[in-house]
């Protein structure tokens, strides 16, 4: 499905041409029809000789309505640039052509209209030469130039043939499975409710689909679809669509909003972009200039931060961070136009390379500029790897939606990035940029290094503490520890592989005294407080980390071997008698309730035993 736009000066007969081609007059407002002046967007469609249905967006030509024109040309595949034979090229013609080029619309037919008003063949030839000169120094040089008359029909057949050939050479619209509909009209139909129209992008849309209108997070459902006045169950990307939405009121949305699947599109106040000032632009664009920003059917005031220059002049390009006055739902790859409010004029346009940068960049930073350049010019794999630079892994589906990749493009990008070690696949977590992984490893080692220096007699940090300090989730933490040789987890503590607890000679002597005391009364050992007095609190904590001691309560710990004998005896007694109680345990080991009760409570907590009255029976983990 294709959509074309008609552009040109107000008096050049665009609307009459559209009516001749399609049988539909695109001016829908009473004022437009009475004045013969296109004020807002007009819509029609035609069937080409090859049977293809093509949508038409007729945009205003008058300079006072240039911003309405911008709301209509964002989704078109090709354009008809209309020049009246009796007037020739006008200033608005040049501005419209400049806008089409900035929006990267590379398929164009120049239509010389109103040839029925010209008797002088030399004059007509002069207008055609003027049109050729207009295109000569651009990528549109050599575009077809077709003289026509909407009154007599002269040239219309040739125009349709040229249009068929032009559109036949276009690649199919990408279906990434992520439909987006920039809204250019909102109205209410009695008995049906809210209806919106636009040019569908990104994927197919079907009756019953859940949608969200952004900005505003207004949720709704597709009640009905029409494409070119025909009811359809599914609309394809690239077609003009009218969507009857259930659940969203007309007051909730306006021109410039975007319909998308839930969770797939978030409004943003900040965007990274590459910008170009055409060679015929007037003035200088300076850092921190306030402009009007146009993208799709949306517009907003914005302030520009130039990232690689203090100013840009005509013919120059550069990197921008665009700070919007109000949040807009932008996507990587969106084309935009910038205008200054006073005096109102177009200053240039470009492409969004990152719609969710998340932070304000420092200016003149080579690393940032290199990354932005890779986002714009890199291969599919490089673009995917850059998008996967985040605080945590993302799902391939989310990344494909962010990048606007089709399923096939995503497969190519993923394979390329994995072979080049730009990405890592993390089972159960998603995919992550390799440099994001490496940065996390370095952060973990640095955090552990500081901890080991401050606590040489601690085995390491708990997983929860390290995850909290780094602000990462435990599944990701565990994956990194498992895969990285420089990291290890021992006895539940995360440590650098190079770290180990080393006792001094004096500390070893204290440990010997403590172990002797435990050998004297293995089942009635000194309290932890008494152990601290014998060996020092830091040493006792180290012995607990190393599991040479096993703590069963705030005040009681056993030597590891003695604890193992106690647990084995409890298991054996329960296997033989079905249960055990604190009195039996106390009598069997010559201990006391002070030690027996905390020990049994620990086994209860581990699921080894389960309390029934005063006795313990096998637990779930027995």
Q: Find the mean pLDDT for residues 565-584.
A: 90
| 194: its two tokens | 């809210």
Q: Is the pLDDT of residue 32 over 50?
A: no
pLDDT band at 31 (very low <50, low <70, confident <90, very high): very low
Q: Find the mean pLDDT for residues 127-144.
A: 86
Q: Is the pLDDT of residue 415 over 90?
A: yes
| 36: its two tokens | 């013969």
Q: How much is the pLDDT for 61? A: 47
pLDDT band at 135 (very low <50, low <70, confident <90, very high): confident
Q: Find the mean pLDDT for residues 44-49.
A: 80
Q: Find the mean pLDDT for residues 225-234.
A: 88
Q: How much is the pLDDT for 111? A: 87
Weakest-pLDDT range from 48-62, 518-532, 557-571:
48-62
CB of 198 closer than 8 Å to CB of 75: yes
Q: How much is the pLDDT for 62? A: 43
Query: Between residues 66 and 530, which one has the greater pLDDT?
Result: 530
Using CA of residue 360, residue 362, residue 364, residue 370, what is the dihedral sign?
negative
pLDDT in tens, 437-464: 999 999 999 999 999 999 999 999 999 9
Q: How much is the pLDDT for 8? A: 62
pLDDT in tens, 3-16: 766 766 555 567 78
Write phi, then psi, for 604 (nearest 5 degrees). Answer: -60, -45
Q: Is the pLDDT of residue 622 over 60?
A: yes
The position carrying tokens 């021109």 is: 255
DSSP state of 150: T
Cα distance between residue 461 and residue 467, in whole Å: 10
Cα distance between residue 385 and residue 410, in whole Å: 11
Q: How much is the pLDDT for 356? A: 85
CB of 410 closer than 8 Å to CB of 457: no
Q: Find the mean pLDDT for residues 206-226.
A: 92
Q: How much is the pLDDT for 590? A: 85
Q: Find the mean pLDDT for residues 573-602.
A: 89
Q: Which of 533, 511, 514 is nearest to 525 (CA)?
A: 514
Q: Is the pLDDT of residue 365 over 50?
A: yes
Q: Is the pLDDT of residue 502 over 80?
A: yes
| 302: its two tokens | 């914005």
Would you call the peptide bond into 215 cis, given omega within 30 degrees of 0 as the criterion? yes
Q: How much is the pLDDT for 70? A: 64
CB of 549 closer than 8 Å to CB of 559: yes
Number of C-beta neighbours around residue 279 at 10 A: 12
- Give the length of the chain: 622
Weakest-pLDDT range from 47-51, 71-75, 332-336:
71-75
CB of 511 closer than 8 Å to CB of 518: no
Q: Is the pLDDT of residue 275 over 50?
A: yes
pLDDT band at 53 (very low <50, low <70, confident <90, very high): confident
Q: How much is the pLDDT for 400? A: 84
Maximum average pLDDT range among 232-246, 288-302, 390-404, 435-449: 435-449
Q: Is the pLDDT of residue 68 over 70?
A: no
Q: How much is the pLDDT for 21? A: 79
Q: How much is the pLDDT for 477? A: 94
pLDDT band at 282 (very low <50, low <70, confident <90, very high): confident
CB of 139 closer than 8 Å to CB of 101: yes
Instruction: Classify the phi-psi angles of 398: left when phi > 0, otherwise alpha if psi is within -120 to 50, otherwise beta.
Output: alpha
* CA trace torsion 388, 392, 395, 399 (10° rounding): -30
Q: With pLDDT > 70 as the criterion, what percentage of the chain qualifies?
A: 92
Angle between the N-to-C axes of helices 582-589 and 560-577, in degrees from 0 to 180, rounded to the nearest 10: 120
Q: How much is the pLDDT for 589? A: 85
Cα distance between residue 213 and residue 182, in whole Å: 10
Intra-chain end-to-end CA distance of the chain, in Å: 67
Cα distance between residue 358 and residue 47, in whole Å: 45
Q: Is the pLDDT of residue 27 over 60?
A: no
**Mean pLDDT over all residues of the chain?**
86
CB of 585 closer than 8 Å to CB of 596: yes
Would you call the peptide bond into 343 cis, given omega within 30 degrees of 0 as the criterion? yes
User: pTM (2 decimals)?
Assistant: 0.72
Q: Find the mean pLDDT for residues 159-175.
A: 82
pLDDT band at 33 (very low <50, low <70, confident <90, very high): very low
pLDDT band at 59 (very low <50, low <70, confident <90, very high): low
Q: How much is the pLDDT for 15? A: 76
């Amino acid at each position: 499905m294709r959509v074309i736009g008609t552009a040109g000066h107000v008096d050049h007969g665009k609307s009459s041409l559209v009516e001749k081609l399609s049988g539909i007059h695109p001016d829908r407002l009473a004022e437009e029809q009475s004045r013969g002046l296109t004020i807002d967007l007009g819509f029609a469609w035609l069937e080409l000789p090859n049977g293809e249905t093509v949508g038409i967006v007729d945009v205003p030509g008058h300079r006072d309505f240039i911003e309405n024109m911008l709301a209509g040309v964002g989704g078109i595949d090709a354009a008809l640039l209309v020049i009246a034979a009796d007037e020739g090229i006008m200033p608005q013609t040049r501005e419209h052509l400049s806008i089409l080029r900035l929006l990267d619309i590379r398929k164009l037919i120049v239509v010389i209209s109103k040839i029925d008003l010209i008797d002088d063949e030399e004059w007509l030839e002069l207008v055609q030469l003027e049109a050729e000169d207009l295109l000569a120094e651009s990528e549109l040089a050599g575009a077809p130039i077709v003289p026509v008359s909407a009154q007599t029909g002269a040239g219309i057949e040739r125009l349709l043939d040229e249009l068929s050939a032009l559109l036949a050479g276009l690649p199919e619209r990408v279906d990434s499975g992520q439909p987006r509909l920039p809204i250019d009209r909102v109205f209410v139909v009695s008995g049906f409710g809210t209806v919106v129209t636009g040019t569908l992008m990104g994927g197919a849309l079907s009756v019953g689909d859940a949608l969200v209108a952004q900005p505003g997070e207004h949720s709704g459902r597709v009640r009905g679809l029409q494409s070119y006045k025909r009811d359809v169950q599914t609309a394809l990307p690239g077609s003009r669509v009218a969507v009857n939405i259930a659940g969203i009121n007309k007051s909730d949305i306006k021109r410039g909003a975007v319909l998308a699947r839930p969770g797939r599109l978030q409004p943003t106040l900040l965007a990274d972009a590459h910008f170009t000032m055409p060679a015929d632009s007037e003035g200088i664009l300076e850092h921190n200039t306030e402009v009007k920003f146009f993208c799709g059917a949306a517009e907003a005031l914005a302030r520009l931060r130039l990232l690689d220059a203090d100013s840009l002049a005509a013919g120059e390009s550069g990197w921008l961070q665009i700070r919007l006055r109000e949040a807009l739902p932008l996507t990587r790859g969106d084309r935009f136009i910038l205008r200054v409010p006073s005096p109102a004029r177009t200053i240039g346009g470009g492409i969004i390379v990152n719609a969710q940068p998340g932070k304000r960049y420092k200016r003149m930073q080579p690393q940032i500029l290199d990354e932005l350049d890779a986002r714009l010019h890199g291969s599919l794999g490089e673009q995917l790897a850059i998008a996967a630079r985040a605080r945590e892994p993302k799902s391939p589906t989310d990344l494909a939606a962010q990048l606007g990749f089709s399923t096939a493009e995503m497969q190519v990008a993923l394979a390329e990035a994995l072979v080049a070690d730009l990405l890592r696949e993390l089972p159960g977590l998603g995919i992550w940029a390799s440099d994001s992984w490496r940065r996390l490893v370095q952060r973990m080692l640095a955090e552990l290094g500081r901890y080991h220096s401050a606590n040489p007699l601690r085995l390491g940090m708990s997983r929860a503490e390290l995850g909290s300090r780094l602000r990462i989730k435990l599944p990701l933490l565990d994956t990194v520890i498992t895969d990285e040789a420089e990291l290890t987890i021992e006895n539940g503590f995360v440590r650098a592989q190079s770290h180990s607890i080393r006792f001094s000679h004096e500390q070893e002597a204290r440990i010997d005294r403590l172990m002797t005391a435990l050998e004297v009364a293995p089942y009635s050992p000194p309290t932890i407080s008494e152990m601290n007095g014998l060996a020092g609190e830091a040493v006792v904590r180290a012995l607990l980390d190393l599991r040479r001691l096993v703590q069963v309560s705030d005040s009681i710990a056993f030597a590891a071997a003695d604890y193992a004998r106690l647990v084995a005896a409890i298991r054996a007694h329960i296997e033989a008698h079905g249960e055990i109680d604190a009195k039996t345990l106390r009598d069997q080991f010559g201990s006391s309730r002070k030690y027996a009760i905390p020990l049994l409570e620990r086994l209860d907590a581990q699921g080894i035993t389960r309390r029934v009255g005063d006795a313990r029976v096998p637990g779930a983990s027995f």
